[in-house]
Each structure stands twice: as structure tokens, then as C-alpha cells.
């Protein structure tokens, strides 16, 4: 009897199928599975726990299509691949067969990753000196000649923002680390130095229109600090995903034709069942290795020529900022506009009506985005978050960095464009991956949203040449 049946004699419904190669440590296996556990799944099936490993199970494996592996995978909603540091799981033919079954039943396959909480905490502790140095510099400039140095700090922060974004998309993690530290220091300097002086006027009570603008600018500066802290989380997560991608490719020769079984008869049975579908299975594994997950929609994008390098990796800094602190700030803005419309400044009531409508539009778009997000599959959720990260980034940083340089009208205009950007995000989120591909220039839009720029630190791509060689040799 297996451990799973000892614990649950009546059995349980299988929500999650776990594939692995028996070469990882048990704590490594547990950490990766629990960290990557789908939030809607309740029960998991794993061969080492579900099969009676102390008995001869050869009779259960005579027909791969009726084996416990196949039956569990057919009923599972999700499939999780657990890499190890020794050898790719796809050097093992049973794992290749499970990828074949997942392809046949249109399952979404995801690569498991380890927890990163400890690494993030250490990264934040290393950022503490940069934060203190920035705050000290800002205080010195505030007490002496902050006005002369304000533009220098602004330029430094803009360069850090640009470097952080570009380095993450290119996989240059060392540059990203430096950019995040410089950005945090310059952001702290801007907050401390400009706490009482914002865009040429003093910090006024919250009820006035200048007070509204002052609070907005201060909130945006705090938002920059939050962004660089979250960008460091993205950097650590990117490194972890890259390591798992490399582990999944370790000793993999580009095709399951080169995979093997410990039992010769099992290998013959599996190859007989896969038949001429080897190339399709290789493409499924190739997308998984590139993107970190694979689904029908991602395979369609791959067939359209979309480069999917790390498409399953999501830069969370901007989405978390936009759906968290900035979302709450949007509600505060809406309340202030309504108050100013009814209580003060009746001569420009139309302006505040317009601004209130724009803010309300942004709030409704984000609420609709969240509702859509929680109803979609994991591949579409990754796409939605990447859409938000790519689109909102441009408008938000224009608002934060260029807004303080102009007058109130310019700042209000940038704020309007920022609010309207969420309608554009909602449009692409509703379309999804396949809907975006159907648009004019859909391939290029999907490429922009899904992929990261190819860089040396992104990790090697799967050996497509090996796969094509094996295909040609078989023909």
C-alpha cells in the first residue's frame, strides 16, 4: 500500500499532478511544491507517495495509457514540473510521456520554483545603507541648497529607473542591483529634501487644490521608494527562475528521443504510444523551458513566431504598486475632487468634474481588471500582469518624473493619461493572448507584452538545433 492510501484509504480527487526525476532532496522538493502550489488546488498526486514503492508495480505500468500516472494526470487540473540541480527531468522518458499526456489533454504545465523570502529579506537589508545615505544627502541639501541640487537628484532617479527597467528586461542582474540601490538612495533624498518644498510651494492643508497636488507628488515619491523595493524582489525572483530554467535544461539534448527509462520494456511501450507525436512533445517542453510554463495559448503564440523567453516571469513591481498603494491613492483623489467640486473653486468646477471622471474611470478599470484576473488561468494571469507592467510603467514614470518639472496643468494632464492607461490595460487583458494575436500587428504586440529582451544573464535557451537535427534524422 502507498503512503497516500495509508493516509486516505478512500482516496482523494487529484487537482495537481507533480512530475519529478527522483534526484532532488526531499526538502528541496517540498519547498518548491509548496511555493508553486496553485491557489485553487487542494490535493496533489506524486508517484513517490501515491504508488506502492515497496512492491513490484511492473504490472501497473505494462500499458502506459492505463498506468496510475496517466489516470492521475487525466483527472488533474494542473501539472507542476519540479527541476533538480543534477539532471533535467526530461532526460527521463516517463517525464516526457507525462508531457505528452498533458499536451493531449490541454493541461497547463508550470515549472516549480523555491521560496525566495530569505533572499528578499537579505536583499532589502543590503539596501538599507543606500536608503540612509540618500536620506542624509536629502537632509543636507534641504538645509543648504536643495533647490540647486533638486534637478540633479531628479536626473539621477530617472537614470536609475531607466536602468532598472532595461536591466530587468535584458537579464542584466548586476546592473539591476546597482540601479535599484541608486534609485532607492535618490528617492530617499528627494523625499527628505522635498518634504516641505514641492514644486515651488509649501506643503498646504489637504483641503486646498495646491494641497491636493502636494500630497499627490509626495505620494508619488513614496511610490518610487516602494517601486525600487519591489524591483529588488523582481530581481531575486528573476535569478531564481533563471536557475530553475537552467536546471530544467541540464543535460537535456533537445528532444525526448534521447530520454531513457530504467526498464527497456517501459521505454518500448512509451515510445510506441507517443508514436509520431515526438516533435509536438518537444515543442511543449521547449516552450516550458523558455517561458517557465506552457499552455495552448502560449504554444499558439510560439507558432506565430513570438519569442517566449521568460514569458511566465512577471515583473510585480508596477502591478503591485498600481493595484495597491496607488489604487488607494486613487480613491483619495476621487474624494478630494468631489469635495473641491461641492465646497470650493466653483469657477473651475468643470475641471474637477473632468478629473473626478478620469479618476473614477481608472478605479473602475482596475476593479474590472481584478475581477477578470481571478477568473483566468495562470498563463492568462501572467499575460495580464505583464500587460500592466509594460503599459502603466510609461505613464506612471512620466507622471512622477516629468510632472514636478511643469506647472499644475501639465501635472493634471499627465495624471489624466496615467488614469486612462488602465483602460488600455483592461482592453488587452480582456482580449487575452489569443485575442491579442488576432489584432493587426498582434504578433508584435504579443511579443512586447510576453517576452523579455534576450540577454546573456537570462540563461541559455533550449537547444532548438538539437531538436531540429533529431527531427531530420528521424525522417
Contact between 425 and 388 under an 8 Å Cβ cutoff? The reply is yes
pLDDT category of residue 439 using cuts at 50, 70 and 90? very high
- pLDDT band at residue 460 using 50, 70 and 90 as cut-offs: very low
Residue 45, classed as helix, strand or coil, is: strand
Residue 403: predicted pLDDT: 67
Average pLDDT of the segment spanning 256-268: 88
pLDDT score of 230: 92
- Based on DSSP, count helices (H) and strands (E) in the chain, helices before strands: 19, 7
Q: Which DSSP string do the residues of 356-416 spell out, in sequence order?
A: HHHHHHHHHHHHHHHHHHTTS-HHHHHHHHHHHHHHHHHHHHHHHHHGGGS-HHHHHHHHH
pLDDT, averaged across the chain: 81
- CA 91 vs CA 147, 247, 255, 291: distances in Å: 63, 12, 9, 19
Express each pLDDT in 187-199 by its tens digit: 787 777 665 444 4
**Rounded percentage of the chain residues whose pLDDT exceeds 70:** 80
Count other Cβ atoms within 10 Å, centred on residue 136. Answer: 14
Residue 388 pLDDT: 94
Hey, is 470 helix, strand or coil? helix
Beta strand residue intervals within 5-92, DSSP E: 16-19, 44-46, 78-81
pLDDT at residue 472, rounded to an integer? 41
Per residue in 67-113, pLDDT tens? Answer: 888 888 888 888 999 999 889 999 999 999 999 999 888 889 999 99
* pLDDT tens digits, one per residue of 303-359: 888 888 888 888 888 999 999 988 988 888 788 777 766 665 555 556 677 878 888
Q: Are 76 and 116 in contact (CB under 8 A)?
A: no
pLDDT at position 39 is: 83
Encode pLDDT of 378-396 as tens digits.
999 999 999 999 899 888 8
Distance in angstroms (rounded) separating the CA atoms of residues 210 and 229: 29
Alpha carbon separation from 152 to 137, 141, 185 (Å, rounded): 12, 11, 13
Q: What is the pLDDT of residue 465?
A: 40
Copy the grid coordinates of residue 181.
540601490
Q: Give me the mean pLDDT over the 412-431 stretch.
A: 92
What pLDDT shows up at residue 254?
87
Best-predicted range by mean pLDDT (40-49, 139-148, 370-379): 370-379
Cell numbers at 343, concatenated:
465646497
The pLDDT score that the predictor gives to residue 323 is: 93
Residue 38 vs residue 154, higher pLDDT: 38
**Stronger pLDDT, 131 or 368, i.e. the higher one:** 368
Mean pLDDT over 402-416 rounds to 74
- Check residue 191 and give its pLDDT: 76
CB contact burial 109-123 (16+ within 10 A = b; e otherwise): bbbbbbebeebbeeb
Reported as a pLDDT band with limits 50, 70 and 90, residue 360 is: very high
**β-sheet with 44-46: strand ranges across:** 44-46, 16-19, 78-81, 108-111, 293-294
φ/ψ of 260, rounded to 5, equals -140, 165
Distance separating alpha carbons of residues 316 and 313, to the nearest angstrom: 9
CA pair distance 359, 329, nearest whole angstrom: 10
**Averaged over 406-428, what is the pLDDT?**
86
Lowest mean pLDDT among 17-21, 191-195, 452-456: 452-456
Query: What are the extents of the domains in the chain?
Result: 3-115+262-295, 314-451
Alpha carbons 274 and 2: distance in angstroms, whole number:
28
CA dihedral 180, 184, 190, 196 (to 10 degrees): 150
Q: So what's the pLDDT on residue 412?
A: 77
Burial class (CB in 10 A: 0-12, 13-18, 19+), 11: exposed
Predicted model pTM: 0.83
* Model pLDDT, residue 100: 92
Amino acid at each position: 500500500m502507498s503512503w497516500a492510501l495509508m493516509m486516505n484509504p478512500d482516496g482523494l480527487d487529484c487537482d495537481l499532478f507533480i512530475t519529478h526525476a527522483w534526484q532532488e532532496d526531499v526538502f528541496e522538493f517540498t519547498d518548491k511544491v509548496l511555493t508553486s502550489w496553485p491557489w485553487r488546488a487542494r490535493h496533489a498526486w506524486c508517484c513517490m507517495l501515491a504508488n506502492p514503492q515497496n512492491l513490484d508495480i511492473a504490472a501497473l505500468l505494462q500499458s502506459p495509457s492505463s498506468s496510475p500516472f496517466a489516470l492521475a494526470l487525466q483527472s488533474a487540473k494542473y501539472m507542476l514540473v519540479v527541476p533538480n540541480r543534477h539532471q533535467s527531468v526530461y532526460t527521463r522518458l516517463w517525464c516526457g510521456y507525462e508531457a505528452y499526456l498533458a499536451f493531449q489533454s490541454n493541461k497547463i504545465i508550470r515549472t516549480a520554483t523555491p521560496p525566495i523570502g530569505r533572499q528578499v529579506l537579505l536583499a532589502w537589508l543590503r539596501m538599507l545603507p543606500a536608503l540612509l545615505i540618500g536620506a542624509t544627502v536629502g537632509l543636507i541639501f534641504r538645509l543648504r541648497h536643495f533647490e540647486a541640487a533638486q534637478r540633479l537628484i531628479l536626473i539621477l532617479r530617472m537614470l536609475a529607473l531607466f536602468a532598472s527597467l532595461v536591466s530587468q528586461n535584458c537579464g542584466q542582474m548586476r546592473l539591476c542591483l546597482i540601479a535599484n540601490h541608486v534609485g532607492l538612495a535618490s528617492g530617499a533624498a528627494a523625499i527628505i529634501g522635498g518634504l516641505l518644498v514641492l514644486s515651488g510651494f509649501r506643503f498646504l492643508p489637504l483641503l486646498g487644490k495646491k494641497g491636493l497636488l502636494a500630497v499627490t507628488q509626495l505620494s508619488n515619491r513614496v511610490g518610487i521608494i516602494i517601486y525600487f523595493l519591489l524591483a529588488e524582489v523582481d530581481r531575486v525572483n528573476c535569478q531564481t527562475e533563471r536557475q530553475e530554467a537552467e536546471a530544467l535544461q541540464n543535460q537535456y539534448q533537445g528532444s525526448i528521443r534521447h530520454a531513457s527509462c530504467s526498464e527497456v520494456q517501459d521505454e518500448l511501450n512509451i515510445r510506441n504510444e507517443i508514436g509520431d507525436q515526438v516533435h509536438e512533445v518537444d515543442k511543449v517542453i521547449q516552450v516550458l523551458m523558455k517561458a517557465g510554463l506552457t499552455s495552448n495559448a502560449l504554444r499558439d503564440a510560439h507558432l506565430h513566431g513570438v519569442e517566449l523567453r521568460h514569458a511566465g516571469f512577471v515583473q510585480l513591481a508596477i502591478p503591485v504598486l498600481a493595484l495597491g498603494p496607488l489604487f488607494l491613492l486613487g480613491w483619495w483623489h476621487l474624494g478630494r475632487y468631489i469635495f473641491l467640486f461641492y465646497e470650493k473653486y466653483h469657477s473651475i468646477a468643470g475641471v474637477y468634474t473632468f478629473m473626478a471622471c478620469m479618476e473614477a474611470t481608472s478605479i473602475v478599470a482596475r476593479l474590472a481588471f481584478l475581477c477578470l484576473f481571478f477568473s483566468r488561468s495562470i498563463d492568462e494571469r501572467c499575460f495580464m500582469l505583464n500587460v500592466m507592467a509594460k503599459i502603466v510603467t510609461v505613464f506612471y514614470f512620466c507622471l512622477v518624473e516629468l510632472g514636478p518639472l511643469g506647472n499644475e496643468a501639465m501635472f493634471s494632464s499627465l495624471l489624466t493619461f496615467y488614469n486612462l492607461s488602465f483602460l488600455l490595460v483592461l482592453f488587452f487583458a480582456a482580449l487575452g493572448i489569443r485575442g491579442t494575436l488576432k489584432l493587426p500587428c498582434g504578433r508584435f504586440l504579443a511579443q512586447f507584452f510576453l517576452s523579455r529582451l534576450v540577454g546573456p544573464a537570462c540563461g541559455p535557451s533550449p537547444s532548438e538545433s538539437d531538436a531540429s537535427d533529431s527531427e531530420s534524422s528521424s525522417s
